[in-house]
């Protein structure tokens, strides 16, 4: 008997807003020390996908809501041949909304965001790499930093933690319409696609530098990014909007949960910038905003508002296309227009010590959208910090300025490389 699952509270939004310019597909990838063996990777995937039942699903269309059910088809690995984070067509992917790709030394997992967030995707990737190394005959042993492929999944991994931590209030605070942030414009690739530019540096040295000037790595990187956006797009005084960076925050840090479904909130930080604004000014403002907006009470309010909106929609016996219309409106007016760019930092990834000799570093690629044609992903592994920009426009001035400023400020060597997609040959 096949099981079926409700799509979690956040996942429903991605079903509503995905379109040609917003794939809602992101990537987490591991760069290996040795070239990938495709047959061994397929063998590992066949085993590991069963350990993650919330990813081994196919979507069924309903009149009031879509839902998911078990997918028993084999998920095949694919050699990477196109740009990252391209839309996933289930009809071409055995019904799955996840794909596993390989190219030279890279193993990538691309996931439709309705299934899970970055934290869930990382757990799947780590288990996949563990099993892959095991099949290769490497001496790897599991510990608390990896979900062992042979373990039975916990029921708590599939819970909707938004529902668990939702607190009903008699009069929820209405959400004010957010101020419209500065929007990056550019020339779209033709044909459409995504170019990625990676910068790799020593994580501990970046963290040490950030601490020396009074902030965390996230605050420092965000401040440099805001400064680069201003320097390349707003310095002539043609715009006066605030530059706002959307930072996805893992709610598991504040609300205990081991769910492998979506459980995050987006925190917008930023400010208006002018020629007199210093990097320290930006860092100070960002730090104050982050401290305030990540307080448990503030995050609880966001959980409550988010779930109540979904419950209000669910209570109405209206067709799904009308519900999707309402969610698209909210996404556009309260999400897309209130940010300049998304910066997703998955932090320092923990893996078993036995896996480290066989892995180099990690990448995260966060898909651009129509209103955010450049987005940024950050993660570190084995003391290698990788900052990845994904863009759907030809212009690169902001990205070049960012890495130039980062090099000038820190004095670090930064290895920059690209997939070259969309570049003139």
Query: What per-residue confidence (pLDDT) applies to 421?
Result: 74
Query: What per-residue confidence (pLDDT) applies to 253?
Result: 94
Other Cβ atoms closer than 10 A to 247: 23
CATH of 195-418 given 3.40.50.620, 3.40.50.170, 3.30.590.10, 3.30.559.30: 3.30.559.30
Residues for the chain: how many in total? Answer: 425
Helix locations, 257-369, DSSP H: 279-293, 296-315, 320-330
Given the DSSP bridges, would you call strands 98-103 and 57-60 parallel, antiparallel or unpaired?
Answer: unpaired
For residue 87, what are the CA distances in angstroms to 21, 27, 194, 202?
A: 9, 12, 11, 33
Query: What per-residue confidence (pLDDT) applies to 114?
Result: 85
Evaluate if pTM is beyond 0.95: no
The residue extents of the domains of the chain are 4-147+156-162, 195-418
Query: What per-residue confidence (pLDDT) applies to 168?
Result: 83
Residue 95's contacts (CB-CB under 8 Å, 6 or more residues apart) are 58, 71, 73
**Alpha-carbon gap, residue 121 to 262, rounded angstroms:** 10
Instruction: Assign 260 to helix, strand or coil.
Output: coil
Same fold, 4-147+156-162 and 195-418: yes
**Alpha-carbon gap, residue 331 to 31, rounded angstroms:** 34
pLDDT profile of the chain (425 residues), mean per 10: 53 51 85 98 97 86 61 95 90 92 98 92 98 97 92 92 87 66 92 94 96 94 96 76 95 95 94 92 96 95 85 59 54 71 96 97 94 96 98 95 96 91 59
> Which tokens is 176 given?
């004010």
Q: Which of 384, 398, 403, 396 is nearest to 421 (CA)?
A: 396
CA angle 249, 172, 320 (to 5 degrees): 75
Number of H helices, E strands in the chain: 10, 15
CA torsion angle for 413, 419, 374, 235 (degrees, to 10)? 50
Measured in degrees and rounded to the nearest 5, phi and psi for residue 15 equal -65, -35
Measured in degrees and rounded to the nearest 5, phi and psi for residue 225 equal -65, -45
For 418, the enclosing helix (H) or strand (E) is strand 415-418
CATH number for the domain whose boundaries are 4-147+156-162: 3.30.559.10
Query: What per-residue confidence (pLDDT) applies to 58?
Result: 83
**Alpha-carbon gap, residue 236 to 251, rounded angstroms:** 39
Q: Which of 86, 84, 64, 55 is nearest to 12 (CA)?
A: 64
* N-terminal to C-terminal alpha carbon distance within the chain: 53
Query: What per-residue confidence (pLDDT) applies to 15?
Result: 46
**Alpha-carbon gap, residue 387 to 122, rounded angstroms:** 16
Helix locations, 316-375, DSSP H: 320-330
Other Cβ atoms closer than 10 A to 285: 18
For 30, the enclosing helix (H) or strand (E) is strand 25-32
Query: What per-residue confidence (pLDDT) applies to 176?
Result: 62
Query: What per-residue confidence (pLDDT) applies to 242?
Result: 93
Contact predicate 172/308, CB 8 Å: yes
């Amino acid at each position: 008997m096949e099981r079926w699952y409700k799509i979690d509270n956040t996942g429903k939004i991605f079903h509503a807003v995905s379109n040609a310019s917003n794939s809602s597909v992101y990537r987490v990838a591991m760069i290996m020390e040795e070239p990938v063996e495709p047959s061994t990777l397929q063998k590992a995937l066949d085993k590991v996908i069963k350990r993650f039942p919330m990813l081994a699903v196919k979507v069924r269309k309903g009149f009031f809501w879509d839902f998911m059910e078990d997918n028993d088809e084999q998920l095949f690995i694919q050699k990477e041949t196109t740009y990252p984070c391209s839309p996933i067509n289930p009809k071409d992917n055995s019904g799955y909304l996840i794909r596993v790709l390989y190219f030279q030394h890279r193993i990538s997992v691309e996931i439709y965001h309705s299934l899970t967030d970055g934290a869930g995707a990382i757990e799947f990737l780590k288990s996949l790499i563990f099993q892959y190394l095991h099949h290769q005959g490497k001496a790897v042993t599991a510990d608390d930093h990896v979900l062992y492929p042979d373990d039975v999944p916990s029921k708590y991994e599939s819970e909707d933690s938004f529902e668990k931590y939702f607190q009903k209030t008699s009069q929820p605070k209405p959400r004010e319409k957010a101020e419209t942030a500065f929007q990056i414009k550019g020339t779209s690739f033709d044909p459409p696609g995504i170019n990625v530019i990676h910068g790799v540096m020593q994580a501990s040295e970046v963290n040490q530098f950030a601490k020396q000037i009074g902030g965390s790595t996230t605050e420092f990187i965000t401040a440099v990014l805001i400064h680069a956006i201003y320097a390349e797009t707003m310095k002539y005084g043609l715009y006066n909007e605030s530059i706002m960076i959307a930072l996805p925050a893992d709610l598991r840090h504040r609300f205990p949960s081991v769910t492998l479904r979506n459980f995050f909130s987006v925190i917008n930080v930023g400010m208006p910038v002018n020629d007199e604004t210093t990097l320290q000014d930006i860092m100070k403002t960002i730090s104050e905003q982050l401290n305030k907006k990540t307080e448990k009470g503030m995050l609880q309010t966001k959980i409550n508002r988010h779930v109540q909106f979904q419950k209000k929609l669910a209570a109405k016996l209206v067709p799904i296309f009308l519900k999707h219309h309402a969610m698209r409106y909210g996404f556009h007016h309260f999400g897309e227009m209130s940010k300049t760019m998304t910066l997703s930092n998955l932090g320092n990834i923990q893996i078993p010590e036995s896996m480290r000799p066989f892995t180099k570093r990690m990448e995260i690629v966060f898909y651009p959208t129509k209103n955010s044609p450049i987005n940024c992903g950050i993660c570190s592994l084995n003391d290698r910090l990788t900052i990845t920009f994904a863009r759907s426009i030809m212009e690169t001035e902001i990205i070049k300025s960012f890495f130039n400023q980062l090099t000038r400020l820190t004095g670090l060597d930064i290895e920059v490389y690209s997939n070259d997609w969309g570049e003139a040959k």
